[in-house]
Amino acid sequence: MNKRTLAISGAAVAALGAAAILLPNANANPDETSGAKTFSSPVAVKLARSLAADLGDNGAGWYYDNANRQLVMNVVDEDSAEGVRAKGAVAKIVTNSMEDLKAATKTLSSDASVPGTAWSIDPVTNKVQVTADRTVTGAKWATLTKATDQMEGTVSVKRSQGEFKKFDGEEAAQPGDNGGAGAGDAAGDAGAGDAAGAAGAAGGADDAGAGGAGDAGAGGDAGAGGAAGGEQGAGGAGDAGGAGDAGGGGDAAAGGLDGGDAIFGGGARCSLGFNVSVDGAPGFLTAGHCGNASQTWTSDEAGAQQVGTVQDSQFPASDFALVMYDDATTQVSSTVDLQDGSTQEIGRAVEASVGLKVQRSGSTTGVTDGTVTGLNATVNYGNGDIVNGLIQTDVCAEPGDSGGAMFAEDAAVGLTSGGSGDCTQGGETFFQPVTGALEATGAVIGAGDGGAGGGDAAGGAGDAAGGAGDAAGGAGDAAGAGNAGAGDAGDAGAGAAAGAGDTGSDAGQGLN
């Protein structure tokens, strides 16, 4: 045998030896995805909840892998992993149990409660992700790192170049570069109605269709207030676009506002979150720190068009407020302003999940999008303002966007609280879960007798999602085109979980 043959033989033996070592390890890979099924987000969420209940303490969270459309379940042992794989999900064997992660958050709350910090459980890294803003220096940084250094392997720390703050703004603030429906162009021809940049709910009938809010609307004449189509677009303003004088007037309350529209009170400008009903009476949700700033709220910065009065406001432990429309006959639409002359129907509320794709509408920066990155977040805004149980995202926002709607398709998800950064440089934004606000206030998504989808009506709604009862789209048939977005309460019920007794359950939860 010549040297060349010997060399080839030696290489072959070496390759076989390497394969013998690598193959067992590949088979034991805790992230093994062979055989994993692909799921839509709604189906993945439903399966995740079922698996999490079965896993109990052996589960350590889960997330939806958008890129591969796969459900990833964190587990602590191989036996649990086998059960997960049998259901078509990806089993990821992790070091930290959910009990470990929750214990870490408690330690942070007691030993590292430093202004300018936030933390949330991140199932992707199987750690508690701590974020410190640019104000955390010197003694504050020392306090934080002293606590986190003792939890190495369970906690990770990153810096934010921004500063954590609530995203309420001054009344005179101008809308951002992204075309939000803010207070800019407040004068206009329509007077007070245009000032809100979203008061397109002038209550007009006039073949309103798209409805408008005068020139101040988001990105054009279509404004922000109109509902979707039909001759009575749930408070559409003027002649399909509301240019000129149609946007304002004294009837703003008659047609309600949309999610994301500007509201003013106590020297602050915030954004409306979602229209709701309480025992059949119309109202809306916004941020609690906005509700604390003023008892009454208007649709114009001059304060001439009062629309509602705060009934309940919770901050800082949580961050939501319920404002009831002063005119009990207000016909509100269950819609979010997309700041381009169109709206998104909202028929239900869902709990957030890591990996969920979301959008946010606000009166400063308009509509932006991103992904949920963490749950059960705690944010320390300083001055004793510490909020728990928030949703962490990579969605951007700016002052004036507080209270604005975060949604996923036709589902309400969160109310804008605060964060760091802006829509130029990016940053983190935190949201109050809508499901918690609905449950605490007894409010339901939508309006009128169909707004809730009603406790039991949710049962078995599955992915039907079409809204909540024939009145869900707003003012009965007037809300948009006929019964658009309504759905039958018995079959669609997709919004039913939005705040009544079954809030957050699997019933009727399309996306979540």
Q: Which of the residues are catalytic?
A: 289, 319, 402
Beta strand pairing call for 155-159 and 127-132:
parallel
* Collapsed DSSP state (helix, strand, coil) of residue 406: strand
Q: Which two tokens stand for residue 407?
A: 């949604």
Query: CB atoms < 10 A from the CB of 95, how many?
Result: 12
* Collapsed DSSP state (helix, strand, coil) of residue 419: strand
The CA-to-CA distance between both ends of the chain, in Å, stands at 67
Residue 321 pairs with which residues in a beta bridge? 286, 313
Q: How far apart are CA 271 and CA 251, in angstroms?
A: 20
**Tokens 């609307």 found at:** 217
Beta strand pairing call for 411-419 and 429-433:
antiparallel
Nearest Cα to Cα of residue 430 among 288, 313, 297: 288
379 neighbors 418 (Cβ within 8 angstroms): yes
169 neighbors 399 (Cβ within 8 angstroms): yes
451 neighbors 468 (Cβ within 8 angstroms): yes
CA-to-CA dists, residue 490 to 199, 283, 296, 456, 508, angstroms: 34, 24, 37, 9, 11
Nearest Cα to Cα of residue 325 among 226, 387, 256, 237: 256
CA 122 to chain centre: 17
Nearest Cα to Cα of residue 501 among 425, 435, 406: 435
CA-to-CA dists, residue 237 to 209, 259, 393, 478, angstroms: 8, 16, 34, 14
User: In which region does residue 358 sit, left (phi positive, over 0), alpha (psi from -120 to 50) or beta (all else)?
Assistant: beta
Label residue 510 exposed, middle or buried (CB < 10 Å: 0-12, 13-18, 19+): buried
In the chain, DSSP finds a helix count (H) and a strand count (E) of: 8, 25
Q: Which two tokens stand for residue 366?
A: 């308009």
